[in-house]
Amino acid sequence: MSNMRHALVLATVFCTLLTVVQALPSCAQDDEDCWESRMHPEFTGASKRSGVAYQTKVADEDTSEYWLDQGKQFVKEKLSTTLNTNIAKNVIMFLGDGMGITTHSAARNLLGGEEEFLSFEKFPYTGLSRTFNVNRIVSDSASTATAYLCGVKAFGGTIGVAGVERTDCQQSANATNHVYSIAKWALDAGKLAGVVTTTRITHASPAGVYAHVAERNWENDSEVDSDCGADSNIEDIAYQLIHGEVGSKLSVIMGGGKREFVDSNLYANGLRSDGRNLIVDYQEQSSKNAYVETLSELNSLNFSEVDRLLGLFEDSHMLYHLETHELSNQPTLEEMTRKSIEFLSRNEQGYFIFIEGGRIDHGHHATYARLAMDETVEFSKAIQAARELTNEEDTLIVVTADHSHTLSYSGYSDRGNDIFGAPSYTASDSKPYMTLSYANGPSYNTFYDVNRHERLDPTTLITGKARDRFPATLPLSSETHGGDDVAVFASGPWAHLFTSVYDQNTIPHMMAYASCLPNGLTACS
């Protein structure tokens, strides 16, 4: 009987507590302790719905021993790590455009689950880069390229110039305002240099390697003439790549953007108006300058007969990986990475190369979360290939992003749930919500009935297509960048320098230090 009374007392206490909790008043807006105590779905207006049930992803994951052993093993690995203070013969910088921490955290699920790691997440050293520019809290890809390649923070929309406001034609042409990237520092030290991207090769990020312009859209002469007049004497980005001080010395150049190099009268999709075919200019510079437009042509090259390589695989940006097909004959980022390292490794003095997974950013801008996540996985594959082809003893690999996006990865999904699916809860309007969503973007009207002032069921609109849009809270024609810090991952000589929190413009200085490049402090001095 005593046991029965004890059980009755416990049941009464539980019911009383439940009644009290349900009757709790709403939290005041600034009462952080109150809100913190109610983070569980039951206190957020969410209710359980049918969905994927919890499942243990790894054997013994539900035991304390599993997690205790895991923690001890991590400490052991860190204790056994020795500082690599060799001189970096080679430096490879990987840039995931728009790859904020939320992006690569969510993308792990495509590898089999949230407990997986992308290749670069296994690097021994990690830091955080602050991405604001001179005039904006939230940056663009042009000013950030000037920071992480040239070592100088700049005005938004400008590339390779310091203290110049966007579209300032006069100051753009003033050479005293030009700042040079680490690619030039490497060339001055006798190394080779290159640039690879899945965007147009004249786009903001890759242009940071070799160009100096006050407007990122000056990719061809027609754009310059439109803003500055036909007699401005400002060289457009494509022209600077072929004839510029740095661009003309790059050994490997691969990406999209053929249209920026050819006059519209010479090529149906060309955008130039100066009568030039810059691709022909490049080929005429040397008989050993190879030019390719397909993966087949790239694979057929005999590198022993080539001094420089230019590959333009699309008129504009390269196709999203999920949307490639046999007829496109387009190399993947991994394939371009392998070919580039093979080509540059012939130089005894070493090399610097900038490799961009550029279409992560484009997927996010359109709220195509599925495309953005897949591009992130492809980016990870390219980095893994670079690690396989190089030696950690003499090659520094740095992986980072230029900025983040407004992607949210949230909602109390059960383990094993599809990252592109909905959690096992409904919102307070009794409709499902997605694990991935955006703070703003063009998909607002897709998921919200403005006439009836109600949210639509997103699970009926997201069907598994590559171009499924994901929900956005605020209507904008293009989803925006985020201003949060981005991660920096490093492996190889002096990789330990990349820990802590630092401004983005510090990155090339640390790479130069490790590789003993001129124009700053070096490990050699």
What are the E-state strand segments in 251-365? 252-256, 289-292, 308-312, 351-357
Instruction: Give Cβ neighbours of residue 59 (< 8 Å, ≥ 6 apart).
Output: none
Copy the structure tokens of residue 283: 């080929």
Residue type, 456: L
Instruction: Give Cβ neighbours of residue 491 (< 8 Å, ≥ 6 apart).
Output: 123, 124, 125, 387, 392, 396, 397
141 is catalytic: yes
What are the residues facing 357 on neighbouring strands?
96
Copy the structure tokens of residue 506: 């510090």
Copy the structure tokens of residue 261: 């190099």
In angstroms, rounded to a whole number, what is the distance separating the alpha carbons of residues 370 and 182?
34
Q: Single out the catalytic residue among 119, 129, 139, 141.
A: 141
Nearest alpha-carbon partner for 332 in 345, 342, 347, 322: 322
SS3 labels along 395-444: EEEEEECCCEECEEECCCCCCCCCCCCCCCEECCCCCECCCEEEEEECCH
- Asked if 215 and 158 touch (Cβ cutoff 8 Å), the reply is yes
Alpha helix locations (H) across 286-426? 295-299, 333-344, 359-365, 369-389
- Asked if 232 and 221 touch (Cβ cutoff 8 Å), the reply is no
- Asked if 237 and 244 touch (Cβ cutoff 8 Å), the reply is no
End-to-end Cα distance, the chain:
84
Residues annotated as catalytic are 141
